[in-house]
Amino acid sequence: MKKALLLATTGVALLLAGCSNGNSSASKSNNSSDTYKTEMTKGNDAVDDKEYSKAADHFDSAIKAKKTDKAHDSKIQAQNLVKAKRFMNQRKFDSARSALNKVTDQDNGNKKMVSRAKKLTKQVKKIQFNRSNFKADIKNAKELIKQGANDQAKALLEQITTFKGIKGKYYSDLYTQANTLLKSLPTDTKDSTDTDSNTNNDSSTTTTTDNNNSTDNSSADSSSDQSNNPAAKGGDFDVEKKEVDGKTITDSDIAKARQQLTDSGVKNVDAWSDNDIVRAIKNAAKDGRSTVKESDGKIQ
For residue 49, the model assigns a pLDDT of 95
Q: How far apart are CA 227 and CA 219, in angstroms?
A: 12
Contact 67, 77 (CB under 8 A): no
Percentage with pLDDT > 70 across the chain: 72
Task: Tell me how far apart the alpha carbons of residues 267 and 177 are, in angstroms, rounded to a whole number.
Answer: 70
CA distance 266 to 227: 12
Q: Is 0.75 surpassed by the pTM of this model?
A: no
Give the start-to-end residue ranges of the domains of the chain: 34-130, 132-184, 235-297
Burial 116-132 (b: 16+ CB within 10 A, else e): bbeebbeebeebbebbe
Residue 82 to residue 54: CA distance in whole angstroms: 10
Look at residue 204 in the predicted model and tell me its pLDDT.
40
Helix (H) or strand (E) holding 157: helix 150-161
pLDDT score recorded for residue 197: 41
Q: What pLDDT shows up at residue 47?
A: 96
Q: Please tell me the predicted confidence (pLDDT) of residue 193.
A: 36
The CATH number of domain 34-130, selected from 1.10.287, 1.10.3470, 1.25.40, 3.30.300:
1.25.40
CA–CA separation, 168 and 39 (whole Å): 36
Within 10 Å of residue 256's Cβ, how many Cβ atoms? 15
What pLDDT was estimated at residue 14? 53
Amino acid at residue number 97? R
The per-residue pLDDT for 227 is 44
Low-confidence ranges of the chain (pLDDT < 50): 189-229, 231-237
